[in-house]
Amino acid sequence: MGKTLAEKILSLKSGLDAVAGRIVVAQVDLVFLQDGTGPLSIRQFEKEFKKVFDPQRVALFIDHASPSPRKELSGDHIFLRHFARKQDCRLYDVGEGVCHQLVAEELAGPGNVILGADSHTSTAGGLGAFACGMGSTDIAVALALGETWLRVPQSFKVELEGRLGKGVYTKDLALHLIGKIGADGATYKALEFGGDMASDMDISSRLTLANMCVETGAKAGLFPSDEVTREFLRSQGRENCFIPVSPDADAVYEHMIKVNVSKLEPTVSLPHAVDTASPIEEVKGMRVDQVCIGTCTNGRLPDLEVAATILKGRKCHPHTRLLITPASRRIFQEALGLGLLQIFMEAGAVILPPGCASCVGVHQGILGDGEVCLSTANRNFQGRMGNPSSFIYLGSPASAAAAAVKGEIADPREFL
Amino acid sequence: MLEGKAYRMADNISTDHIIPGRFFHLRSNLPELAKHVLEDADPNFKQKVKAGDFLVAGKNFGLGSSREHAALVLKLSGIGGILAHSVARIFYRNAINIGLPVVICDTHNVSHGDELHLDLRKGVVEDKTQGTTLSLSEVPQVMLDILACGGLLPYIKKYGRFNV
Ligand code: SF4
């Protein structure tokens, strides 16, 4: 019987016939943690173990509260740096970027099994890796053993056809899909993407979609690896990581979802749930106090380019703050080289250092009581951005830029 | 066998409800962090909850972030176990890994304050107040073994590796 992408990768990494439903122990290619979940992981690790399984396959990231806004967090950062030195493993310090972006740029490859102490670890599925978020103790054990137990997930096949219309982006598709599946509609499953439109997608878009799969409850979101993947890896100087991975033609899926993306419109999710996708038309005119462009979902170069197209020669509305955060140092530098940061500055934006910025409510843009934010992030739970009495809408970088200019939720197509 | 009273919660309680990101700086200080457990979803939770209570939730309990602190602060508040209609994947593993039983069953008819008896081995919860028995969704053996050891670290200490 044919295998899905998830079954293929987990068979390879467990040495077993990994069919959906079976529990396997899989070898892990990369284990990583960040400054929010890492300190607890390390304390758990140090209770039982001495050495990480392979320093080359372990990475630490200081991205969530970066640079540190409080002395307690500075203490956590020192703790992580000390562990990295002691174990001789990689540490990405303040200003280098969001863990998932750096994993995609430097560490992940097709066919890998990747575990991260962060729910959006699924992002690397855009490169064909089985990448899965876990909590601190699971990560502590993976750091020591280089393996973990997994229930091989049933997969949903998501067939993407058609072409996105003007002003409509992968983020709109992601929100639409989550609305369709529901916040728990794919719990314990893997989402596997296919169809002509998926093959045509660039890596940045694939990462956006894989990133948001967890918002359906899924364990992983997976794209096959192909020439687009190879080209991306080559551009990062890592072509040697490339292997082709694709599902068998006769693989068995629990569920088939077909989306013709040509019909999609700019879409936003409403407060306080991600699966409340709604055409932007229905919330047009809602006053917006803060706009955030960035995060592991939409802080990549094509996202910034779209925002710059709209912001060029325009100004942010006087009552709207615009915060822009490139997802990594490399993206920051590319944006600088292309003159995008100049455009943002002239529009009145604040440019934040690569990292998570205001996404998780720790620093750099906490909302005030009653304030409304339109963010390109992946979550809008109550209190997510630091204040339970505020309201977060999620949208594409284009919708975000349009809102910054108009001071209210607006259709980005008006500006393109 | 575990016994406790039902403490009802709504659907879709996220890890941002259980312990919001604004308390990020307290994550290395668990007793302080635990003072804020569920305060956005149920401001009186901390005062009302009793040691041994079972949280009885609706669907998708624990969705969101991978922060294991969410499971830890519930345990530190005295929660003896969690019953939910469905449970988000990472939270589920996290709770089991720290020895906090989480079970999936039809929680619709359980009322706040009901007397509950949980028998993991038999796979049932008895609602003594209502005189009903709820059957649990099957729990993978590896998770039962981890729970029996009191968590993942003691499990690995006992077996040396994953014993599946
Ligand atoms: S950018 Fe937001 S969602 Fe992404 S890793 Fe950072 S906090 Fe999490």
| Residue-range definition of the domain harbouring residue B65 | 2-137
Per the domain annotation, does B63 fall within a domain?
yes
CB contact at 8 A, A360 and A99: no
Helix/strand number for chain B, H first, E second: 7, 7
Q: Which atom of ligand 1 is nearest to the CA of A378?
A: 3
Residue A378 beta carbon below 6 angstroms from any ligand 1 atom: yes
Angle (CA) A14 A16 A21, round 5°:
90
Residue closest to B22 by CA, chosen among A75, A351, A65:
A65
CB contact at 8 A, A201 and A170: yes
* Spans of all domains in chain A: 8-260, 266-415
Angle (CA) A50 A55 A59, round 5°:
105
Distance in Å, CA A385 to ligand 1 centroid: 11
Per the domain annotation, does B23 fall within a domain?
yes
Distance in Å, CA A359 to ligand 1 centroid: 6
In this structure, CATH architecture of domain A8-260: 2-Layer Sandwich (3.30)
CB-CB under 8 Å, B156 with A383? no
Per the domain annotation, does B153 fall within a domain?
no
Q: Which atom of ligand 1 is nearest to the CA of A119?
A: 8
CB-CB under 8 Å, A382 with B25? no
Task: State how many domains chain B has.
Answer: 1
Could you report the per-residue pLDDT of B82-104, keeping only the tens digit for each?
999 999 999 999 999 999 999 99
Could you report the per-residue pLDDT of B111-143, keeping only the tens digit for each?
999 999 999 989 999 999 999 999 999 999 999
Helices (H), chain B: 15-18, 30-34, 45-48, 69-76, 89-97, 141-149, 152-159
**HEC readout, A217-236:** CCCEEECCECHHHHHHHHHC
Q: Kindly list the residues from chain A whose CB atom is less than 8 angstroms away from the CB atom of residue B28.
A: 39-40, 72, 75-76, 79
d(CA B15, CA A326): 26
pLDDT score of A373:
98
Could you report the per-residue pLDDT of A205-222, keeping only the tens digit for each?
999 999 999 999 999 999
- By 3-state DSSP, what share of chain A in percent is helix, strand and coil, each rounded to 5? 40, 20, 40
Give residues 126 to 155 of B whose Cβ lies within 8 Å of A. Answer: 140-142, 151-153
d(CA A337, CA A282): 38
**Of A37, A217, A366, Cβ closest to residue B66:** A37
CB contact at 8 A, A408 and A353: no
Angle (CA) A382 A385 A387, round 5°:
65
Q: Kindly list the residues from chain A whose CB atom is less than 8 angstroms away from the CB atom of residue B91.
A: 135
Question: Residue A284 phi/psi, 5° resolution?
Answer: -50, 140
Residue A292 beta carbon below 6 angstroms from any ligand 1 atom: no
Pair type for strands A267-268 and A278-279: antiparallel
Q: Which residue bears the tokens 């919001």? A: B20
Instruction: Determine which of A31, A34, A119, A147 to mutate to test the interface with B (most B C-beta atoms within 10 Å).
Output: A119
ipTM: 0.96
pTM: 0.97
Go through B93-111 and write b for each residue having 16 or more CB atoms within 10 A of its CB, e for each that does not: bbbbbbbbbbbbbebeebe
Which stretches in chain A have pLDDT values below 50?
Answer: none
CB-CB under 8 Å, A48 with B157? yes
Residue A41 beta carbon below 6 angstroms from any ligand 1 atom: no
Distance in Å, CA B41 to ligand 1 centroid: 22
User: Any chain A CB within 8 A of the CB of B58?
Assistant: no
Q: Which residue bears the tokens 């729990």? A: B139
Q: Kindly list the residues from chain A whose CB atom is less than 8 angstroms away from the CB atom of residue B157.
A: 48
The rounded Cα A152 to chain-centroid distance in angstroms is: 22
d(CA A112, CA A203): 16
pLDDT score of B19:
94
CB-CB under 8 Å, B17 with A360? no
B69-76 and B89-97 are packed helices; what angle lies between their axes, rounded to 10 degrees?
Answer: 50
- Identical fold for domains A8-260 and A266-415, yes or no, is yes
Q: Kindly list the residues from chain A whose CB atom is less than 8 angstroms away from the CB atom of residue B145.
A: none
Per the domain annotation, does B83 fall within a domain?
yes
CB contact at 8 A, A225 and A206: no
CATH code given to domain A266-415? 3.30.499.10
Distance in Å, CA B140 to ligand 1 centroid: 30
Residue A356 beta carbon below 6 angstroms from any ligand 1 atom: yes
User: Any chain A CB within 8 A of the CB of B75?
Assistant: no
Q: Kindly list the residues from chain A whose CB atom is less than 8 angstroms away from the CB atom of residue B68.
A: 37, 40, 135-137
**Of B22, B64, B140, Cβ closest to residue A361:** B22
d(CA B42, CA A291): 29
Q: Which two tokens stand for residue A399?
A: 């919708």
d(CA A53, CA A410): 51
Burial environment of residue B51 by CB neighbours within 10 A (0 to 12, 13 to 18, 19 or more): exposed
Q: Which two tokens stand for residue B37?
A: 């457990």
Angle (CA) A68 B37 A94, round 5°:
15
Tell me the CATH number at B54.
3.20.19.10
Helix/strand number for chain A, H first, E second: 14, 18
Could you report the per-residue pLDDT of B22-74, keeping only the tens digit for each?
999 999 999 999 999 999 999 999 999 999 999 999 999 999 999 999 999 99
pLDDT score of A1:
84
Minimum CA–CA partner of B14 in chain A: A381
Q: How many CB pairs lie under 8 A apart between chains A and B?
A: 152
- Give the distance from residue A127's alpha carbon to the nearest chain B alpha carbon, in angstroms: 22
Pocket mutation for ligand 1, best pick of A34, A120, A122 (most atoms within 8 Å of C-beta): A120
CB contact at 8 A, A155 and A192: yes
